[in-house]
Amino acid sequence: MRIYMQTLHSPEQPLRYYHLHLQPDLLGGWSLVRETGIQGTRGQVTKEHFEGREEAERTLIKRRDMQLKRGYRVVFREGAPRESGS
């Protein structure tokens, strides 16, 4: 699952981005990778490790929702969280 977000364009503020994606690790766990920064520059990258995919997806959605409240908008989304019970 991958979500790419940006702030709205404004002459007063540089365009910022927030990129979230999940990736499996070699030991059966999952990593949530977050990258944030000013568009066109190298961003800051943070990784969080989770034992299971469901917990990683919940955290990804929580972080997405936090950024939506801060004024970011989703520009690109790939994949979707699995439905519970599937």
pLDDT digits (tens, 9 = 90+) for 57-86: 999 999 999 999 999 999 999 986 544 343
pTM: 0.83
Q: What is the pLDDT of residue 84?
A: 39
Q: What is the pLDDT of residue 77?
A: 92
Is the separation of the CB atoms in 5 and 70 below 8 Å? no
Give the CA angle between residues 34, 69, 8 to the nearest 5°. Answer: 80
Region 2-78: CATH code: 2.20.140.10
State the Cα–Cα distance between residues 84 and 86, nearest whole angstrom: 6
